[in-house]
Amino acid sequence: MTLPAHSVRAFNLAAASENKIHDDTVARRFGFRGALVPGVEVFAYMAHVPVAHFGRAWLEQGEAECRFLKPVYDGDIAHVSATQEGDGLALSVDSNGARCATGRACMPGPRPAPAVDSLPAGVPPAERPQASEASLCVGRALGIAPLVIERAALAAYLDAIGETEPLYRADGIVHPGQILRLANQALLQNVVLGPWIHVGSALRFHGLARIGDELTLRARIRSNAESKGHALVVFDAIVVADGARAVAAITHTAIWRPRQVAQAH
């Protein structure tokens, strides 16, 4: 069964980011048509559909996977479609006639939230080292500075991603795209990166994050290896609210050194 689709005009929220893959000039040097809309925002577009289908419960205890295949460009229309597949939804994002992302969302059976201290509490260094095999070594703890999302920031984000679901504003619930953004911060706040690309993520939600909650992230690097010339880092993370409550568990995968950069040296 095919579910109602969701379309949004993509907007590059990271144009001023340190990650220059979101800059038109740098992205074109890598062979792209222009700046890439961040994967975390493409996931945010995708998340609209499972919330429409499963309701608020998906934000409290649902699961999701996303994999980014081709760029979504600023100003283009991103079409999110979903088909019922077993007990979940098969998701896809198409833009400009290309399949840009795939994913899955479901409502699994009850599972206890991970203990907050099951992953280490890393502290961002005062001076970040350059990203390398050593600075992103297996077992390294990654952390972020605490973040509180206020109502104005939530509203601005919902406007930027074209979110029409009313429950976020009505109940002051932090959007799942904002939750996944914290995993990017685990890289950005701990090492100095060149152009890098978010490849995909798996998420399991364990409760709602709300405006006013102090959000942190505890993470540990699982692997750092080369694939097809790219250097990929994978890490496990837990998003924590007010130091005591697990909001989501995330496995995050990123190309921290694209092969184009490695070949240039």
Q: Are 187 and 142 in contact (CB under 8 A)?
A: yes
Given this model, what pLDDT does residue 261 score?
62
> What CATH number has the domain spanning 6-263?
3.10.129.10
d(CA 238, CA 15): 27
The structure's pTM equals 0.93
Query: Which candidate, 113, 138, 135, 110, places its Cα nearest to that of 124?
Result: 135
The whole-number mean pLDDT for each consecutive block of 10 residues of the chain, a chain of 265 residues, reads 86 70 66 81 97 96 97 94 94 96 94 94 95 97 97 97 97 98 96 92 98 98 93 98 97 91 55
d(CA 149, CA 155): 10
Given this model, what pLDDT does residue 19 score?
60
Given this model, what pLDDT does residue 110 score?
84
Give the domain ranges of the chain: 6-263
Given this model, what pLDDT does residue 24 score?
64
Looking at residue 2, the DSSP 8-state letter turns out to be B
State the CB neighbour count (10 A cutoff) for residue 42. 27
Given this model, what pLDDT does residue 18 score?
67
Given this model, what pLDDT does residue 21 score?
57
Given this model, what pLDDT does residue 200 score?
98
Given this model, what pLDDT does residue 259 score?
82
Given this model, what pLDDT does residue 15 score?
66
Alpha helices in the chain (DSSP H): 24-29, 39-54, 56-61, 151-160, 167-171, 176-188, 259-263
